[in-house]
Amino acid sequence: MSPASTVTGLPTVLVINSGSSSLKYQLLVPDTGEVLASGLIEQIGEASGRINHTTGDHKYVEETRIDDHGVALAALQDQFAAYGPNLDEITITAVGHRVVHGGSSFSEPVVIDDAVLAEIEALCPLAPLHNPAAVAGIRAARERFHVPHVAVFDTAFFSGLPEAASTYAIPTELAAQHKIKKYGFHGTSHEYVSRQVATELGVPVADLNVIVFHLGNGASVSAVRGGRAIETSMGLTPLQGLVMGTRCGDIDASIYMYLHNVADLSIAEIDTLLNKQSGLKGLCGDNDFRAIDQRIRRGDTAAKRAFEVYVHRLRLYLGSYAFTLGRLDAVAFTAGVGENNPMLRAAATSGLEHFGLHLDEGRNASSTKHARVISTDHSPVKIMVVPTNEELAIARQAEELVERLRP
Ligand code: AMP
């Protein structure tokens, strides 16, 4: 038997997602998905920071300076002490950390010891914006929570991609020397959603071929055959693939050199341009889909064009992944845009009846928050909306690993 919290009678996991200037957390019960508390600590390292802590129906907001991730972890504990739940009355069985890049070293969740932490740190060149923050968050959390800490990697679900899918057509030795290959990201979400699709449809994961569109501010798509990912759109970094909020996704690689030579931009400037000022933002000035949706309804041509570019790219992936899978059972939409924007889902799947996709307009328009089928009853390929829950997936993976290793 694993230790249990006195609040729920069930094991509890603290999930931490450390960004460079923010730290998100959730205390939850992996068995039931119940969230006991959640929070967001923002503007770490800036003159003034902000802490949001939510427990039950109560939300607490505080403004205070947060110098680094160590101070953020202290603030996290202070929030629990001030507003609950009381951590002295809860047995946290594990802390689960979201780590963006696991490189070739990590293909599944791992209990963090000093050697693992050093390896995550060694992967920083592959994810310079993300892994240093994870390392800082893990260090600070290990000092304060003396329970097993588990790293769950965004890349893990894609570590078994077929070689033909993960290999870039550049010289083999150079690619090997610098570990250049397609790693894929959002893996925790793609794995969780593909399994939820199987559960919702009542079929074994092993029998299911599904395409998952994770469409948030970052966006990616995966092709999953029998529970294993065989393709995904993000690459060495999360810049490749679909058009995103501020990232360009696929472009001709020569644009880098061209901008450098012709527009006199430095590599760092081009990096910022393609990661932070491109995508929907670059096309129409907005990266929030709600704003773009409203502008389209008002007849704004730049917003309409951005939407069309976004949809065009998405449909190219839908078609090519369907062919890669050979047989397609379901297409699932998830994350902020995928879960909430019927106009996008309709544009992505319209006119594809010949290929077995029959959208039901009424079902697509419904705004219920649950996983659901939005295609017609006779649609050979099921079109679905499946809310993602990366925190729950991380908590479950952390709890399972700790339970498996318990003497
Ligand atoms: P995420 O990264 O998953 O949080 O998703 C962020 C994106 O989802 C932003 O572009 C939001 O505009 C979009 N989004 C969130 N809620 C809604 C909504 N209710 N309707 C349309 N788009 C939404």
What are the residue ranges spanned by the domains of the chain? 12-153, 187-390
Give the domain 187-390 fold. Nucleotidyltransferase; domain 5 (3.30.420)
Could you tell me the distance, in angstroms and rounded to a whole number, from the CA of residue 245 to the centre of ligand 1?
Answer: 10
- What is the pTM assigned to this prediction? 0.94
Strand partners, 224: 210, 229
Residue type, 378: H
Q: Tokens 């449809």 — which residue?
A: 201
Could you tell me the distance, in angstroms and rounded to a whole number, from the CA of residue 339 to the centre of ligand 1?
Answer: 8
Cα(158)–Cα(191) distance, integer angstroms: 9
1 has a pLDDT exceeding 50: no
Probe residue for ligand 1, chosen from 213, 246, 289 as the CB with the greatest number of ligand atoms within 8 Å = 289
Model confidence pLDDT, tens digit, residues 82-141: 999 999 999 899 999 999 999 999 999 999 999 999 999 999 988 888 899 999 999 999
| Residues contacting ligand 1 via CB (< 6 Å) | 216-217, 245, 288-290, 335-337, 340-341
225 annotated ligand-binding residue = no
With cut-offs at 50, 70 and 90, classify the pLDDT of residue 4. very low
Show the DSSP H helices in 286-354 as ranges: 289-297, 301-325, 335-340, 342-349
Cα(15)–Cα(382) distance, integer angstroms: 32
Model confidence pLDDT, tens digit, residues 263-291: 999 999 999 999 999 999 999 999 999 99
- CA quadruple 133, 138, 140, 145: dihedral, nearest 10: 150
Strand partners, 99: 153
What phi, psi does 243 have (nearest 5°)?
-70, 135
Could you tell me the distance, in angstroms and rounded to a whole number, from the CA of residue 98 to the centre of ligand 1?
Answer: 21
Probe residue for ligand 1, chosen from 290, 366, 368 as the CB with the greatest number of ligand atoms within 8 Å = 290
pLDDT for position 7: 59
Model confidence pLDDT, tens digit, residues 34-87: 999 999 999 999 999 999 999 999 999 999 999 999 999 999 999 999 999 999
Show the DSSP H helices in 110-242 as ranges: 114-122, 131-144, 163-166, 172-177, 187-201
CA angle 114, 117, 119 (to 5 degrees): 110
Q: Do domains 12-153 and 187-390 have the same CATH topology?
A: yes
Question: Between the CA of residue 268 and those of 175, 262, 271, what are the distances in Å?
Answer: 22, 15, 5
The SS3 assignment for 259 reads: helix
Radius of gyration of the chain (CA): 22
**Is 154 among the residues known to form the active site?**
yes
339 annotated ligand-binding residue = yes
Q: Indicate which residue's Cα is closest to atom 2 of ligand 1.
A: 216
The CATH number, out of the four listed (3.30.420.40, 3.40.50.300, 3.90.420.10, 3.40.50.10310), of the domain defined by the range 12-153: 3.30.420.40
Model confidence pLDDT, tens digit, residues 171-220: 999 999 999 999 999 999 999 999 999 999 999 999 999 999 999 999 99
